[in-house]
Structure 1
Amino acid sequence: MAKLYLISLGCNKNLVDSEVMLGRLKNYEITDDVSSADVLIVNTCGFIESAKEESIRAILELSSERKKGSLLVVTGCLMQRYADELMRELKGEVDLFAGLGDFAKIDELIAKRENADFKNAVFLQEQESRVITGSNYHAYIKISEGCNQKCAFCAIPTFKGKLQSRSLSAISAEIKELVGRGYKDFSFIAQDSSSYMKDSGERDGLLALIDAVEGIAGVRSARILYLYPSSTSLELVRKIIASPVFVNYFDMPIQHISESLLNTMRRGTPKEHILKLLETMRAAPDSFLRTGVIVGHPGESEADFNELCEFLESFSFDRISAFAYSREEDTLAYDMEQVSKKIINSRLKKIEKITTKALNTSLNAMIGKEILVYLNGKSDESELFYSAKPLAWDRDIDGEVLINESEIEKLENGKLYCAKITELAGLNPIATITKEA
């Protein structure tokens, strides 16, 4: 059997695309050994400069490490965004180039040893079977592609195009198929999840999605990632809070809180609306709030930055991701007067202290509480611990709980248990499993 090595870079939306490709390439044996692979695929990220550099570095490293006669394939966002340049500059290292519209036919392209034509901007998943990676109980579900937002800093619409939502029937069919394979915990993702079905004229399509998911037998828990403030309604937030299936997990990148910067960024919603959403989310029982902010966007004054810091310090987020502004061509902010890198780095260091404090506060608040966790198996931290994911957390991005004791025997990976948090070891909560959930 021929061997396949695949590296998926960037976000979990890319991971879903990689899993679709693995589903199309089931006749290959998956390997972690680059030197033994007959086919190597790099699913690239092209969102910001650091991601682009990581993708190029991965391509060049695989090219130098692979065996003679193997096939190196490059696909994904970076490939779609810079197709002409990459095909010209990497023709000596890469054998086959494919774009965002080619995931479901990657097996055909490999068999024919031919490049894609890049005519289709994106691939909108229908009934393709995926090979889920990294979990035997959790799966990401992509609900749409593209984006209709006009953020000044973001180039995604230029290479992913306008919003295209998957049909509710296709999403439901995928979930039912995965439930049949034993999956029961789902995270719904998109560039702008809260705009789901707006391309079909529906104002709040996630309400219908929540109803549909709640009606599928076997779904134990679910959460929605990447809510966009201007397309998130209070009705949607309350719908999630009232749901018996969707946990009170709220992932809403606000990017900034200064009214001036929100306007400069073209975020499309006033500060007042953002605060109403966040306050409603925070008031929900056992709620978990994650956000993201950009530091050093063109036009960010010292007063704007201080306002952001003061807000992040006063509002109790569980997780905050802070990113230095990345100047991207084909964006409105590219031609604006830039904040110096020295100032950006200085501001980022200050805000990282705030994000660390928020994380520590959130983790310390867990001590003494009994929570529901999915057991993952042995932890990479140490063979002395099992790894578990709290029901309220998303997979991978929010961390793990380490299990060092259990009051029951014969623990099963993927099963839901009650666990009591006893202490912290660095940034890892330590817990004892007390009973089956």
Structure 2
Amino acid sequence: MKSKTLKKDKVNIITLGCSKNMVDSEVLSGQLQANEIDVVHESSKRDHNIVIVNTCGFIDKAKEESINTILDQVELKRRGKLDKVIVTGCLSERYKNNLEAEIPEVDAFYGTMELPMILKQFEADYKTELVGERLLSTPSHYAYLKISEGCNRTCAFCAIPLMRGQHVSKSMDDLVKEAEGLVKKGVKEVMLIAQELTYYGLDLYKKRMLGDLMNRLADVKGLEWIRLHYAYPHKFPLDVLDVMRERPNICNYLDMPLQHASDNMLKAMRRQITRTETEELIAAVREKVPGLCLRTTLIAGFPGETLDDIEETKLFLQKQRFDRVGIFTYSHEEGTSGFDLVDDVPAEEKERRAQEVMGVQQEISYELNQEKVGKTFKTIIDKKEAGRYLGRTEFDSVEVDNEVIIQTDKRLKIGEFVNVKITKAFDYDLEGEVTA
């Protein structure tokens, strides 16, 4: 009988879903590496023998992608290409019992808060002294900084609290230390993420402390851009805008998911804000930080949504002229209050409505981009692709916003900042040349 050679384990982590999941994978990678276990992220080399799939369970499409990924890895295990398949993350947190029954070939399932238990699979210990230490899976010049976990909101469409629990803020001291560690690794831009940024500090400090945190982070030497993602509009702390205006390394950029413009839908979605209050907030935001880039996200096809609600949303976009807009089709999620409603908009109609809304935004985006032609912007170089460089201004976040296309004979460094004069503008991208 052929004896099996003992070889050292090598772990490949596959991350699905949002940037918050990516941070979790980076923390897991750092812990494994500290325990002298080889680890890579989404490697295509096939030189690993263990796979950890960090799943997403947010909406139907994400769940389907997670399950298909697990099945792909299980098939590789069946063919002898892998020794173990381990599953963690939101889908596993929410549907662990079902998954164990349906995919028994998986060696272990873990929830979103069970990192120490995952490490025990490798006879490794969770090292508390490594809090904030991560093995980055992003390019070295930018990183996500997760400032809290969980969410206390009760939005009717959202299953996040079921998977991530209640809001828990990280301490400011820990976050500053983590940011300082990222800068030492070459990071120049951090994107602050959470399920809900504006709730930061209420649990630890008994008041909203996002503005104070921003000030502390802005003092970190070498941190050139700080960007805000996922700010809830209800009771938005306006002092955040004062800090944004006063501190030059905080990007004039705010990602504030509004989800809808119709009062009927906002009430049904349990958003705790009206159309009028939303418009007043937008006006206050723009007054406090002139020139700010405002990004929002919308949902099409929530139960009870009418064509009038969609028309109202289109008029709202035309009036407010957001710089960036994303849109999801509603996913009927069990365990949410929305699940008690009749999912009465067919999938094809949800998609049609979403495309109709984005058609309006596409025109607005094109017009706003045209206004940038002839102007010069500080731009960070993200990558070189097909003989050209791709970068971003302070008004653009990674993957979801505009890219600046730069054709140049000059050799630019990835992660460096250059001044770019915009020469052309498209619906969602810009083109420009480096100025001296």
TM-score by shorter chain over 0.5: yes
**Which residue, 167, 170, 174 being the options, matches 1:166?**
170
Contact 1:3–1:38 under 8 Å retained in 2: yes
Distance 1:108 1:298, change over 3 A: same
> 1:425 deviation in Å?
6.4
Output one character per residue of 1:221-278: Cα deviation in whole Å (capped at 9) or x when no partner: 1011000011413332333223222111010000011122211111112223321222
Contact 2:215–2:243 under 8 Å retained in 1: no
Please list, as runs of the form range in 1=range in 2, the aligned pairs for 1:153-302 lying within 5 A after superposition.
153-200=157-204, 202-283=206-287, 284-302=289-307
**Which residue, 49, 57, 62 being the options, matches 2:68?**
57
Q: Is 1:385 matched with 2:405?
A: no
Q: State the SS of the aligned residue for 1:32.
A: coil
> 1:59 deviation in Å?
1.0
**Which residue, 43, 49, 52 being the options, matches 1:38?**
49
Output one character per residue of 1:321-374: Cα deviation in whole Å (capped at 9) or x when no partner: 111111110111111133221542332231121232233233333222210111
Q: Percent identity?
A: 32
1:127: which partner in 2? 131
Distance 1:224 1:282, change over 3 A: same
Contact 1:5–1:41 under 8 Å retained in 2: yes
Q: What is the CA–CA distance in structure 2 between the aligned matches of 1:128 and 1:81, rounded to whole Å?
A: 26
2:3: which partner in 1? none
TM-score (norm. length: structure 2): 0.90
Q: State the SS of the aligned residue for 1:15.
A: helix
> 1:385 deviation in Å?
0.2
Output one character per residue of 1:123-175: Cα deviation in whole Å (capped at 9) or x when no partner: x9971410112212111100001111111111111221111001111101101
1:10: which partner in 2? 17
Q: State the SS of the aligned residue for 1:110.
A: coil
Contact 1:321–1:355 under 8 Å retained in 2: no
1:101: which partner in 2? 113
> 1:305 deviation in Å?
2.0
Out of 238-247 and 132-141, give the one that drifted further: 238-247
Q: What is the CA–CA distance in structure 1 between the aligned matches of 2:425 and 2:76, rounded to whole Å?
A: 40
2:32: which partner in 1? 25
Q: Which amino acid in structure 1 is aligned with residue 21 of structure 2?
A: N
Distance 1:272 1:426, change over 3 A: closer
Out of 70-79 and 59-68, give the one that drifted further: 59-68
**Which residue, 303, 310, 314 being the options, matches 1:305?**
310
Gaps of 5+ in 1: 113-123
> 1:423 deviation in Å?
1.4
1:119: which partner in 2? none
Q: State the SS of the aligned residue for 1:236.
A: helix
1:110: which partner in 2? 122
Out of 387-396 and 422-431, give the one that drifted further: 422-431
Out of 169-178 and 102-111, give the one that drifted further: 102-111
Please list, as runs of the form range in 1=range in 2, the aligned pairs for 1:360-375 lying within 5 A after superposition.
360-375=366-381
Out of 361-370 and 137-146, give the one that drifted further: 361-370
Q: Is 1:317 matched with 2:322?
A: yes
**Which residue, 69, 76, 81 being the options, matches 2:94?**
81
2:356: which partner in 1? 350
Q: Which amino acid in structure 2 is aligned with residue 290 of structure 1?
A: R
Out of 147-156 and 410-419, give the one that drifted further: 410-419
Count of residues in Structure 1 that have an aligned counterpart in Structure 2: 418
Out of 4-13 and 198-207, give the one that drifted further: 198-207
Calculate the aligned-residue CA RMSD, in Å: 2.2
Output one character per residue of 1:391-419: Cα deviation in whole Å (capped at 9) or x when no partner: 3321222142121026xx44222111111
Gaps of 5+ in 2: 1-7
Distance 1:34 1:102, change over 3 A: farther
Contact 2:303–2:345 under 8 Å retained in 1: no
> 1:388 deviation in Å?
1.4
Output one character per residue of 1:179-232: Cα deviation in whole Å (capped at 9) or x when no partner: 122212111000001100112353321011012112222211101100001141
TM-score (norm. length: structure 1): 0.90
Output one character per residue of 1:32-64: Cα deviation in whole Å (capped at 9) or x when no partner: 226432111211100111110111011112222
Q: Which amino acid in structure 2 is aligned with residue 28 of structure 1?
A: D
**Which residue, 377, 382, 387 being the options, matches 1:376?**
382
2:4: which partner in 1? none
Output one character per residue of 1:99-134: Cα deviation in whole Å (capped at 9) or x when no partner: 11123553332348xxxxxxxxxxx99714101122
Q: State the SS of the aligned residue for 1:37.
A: coil
Contact 1:250–1:281 under 8 Å retained in 2: no
**Which residue, 130, 141, 150 being the options, matches 2:145?**
141
Out of 340-349 and 187-196, give the one that drifted further: 340-349
2:335: which partner in 1? 330
> 1:426 deviation in Å?
6.9
Distance 1:427 1:128, change over 3 A: closer
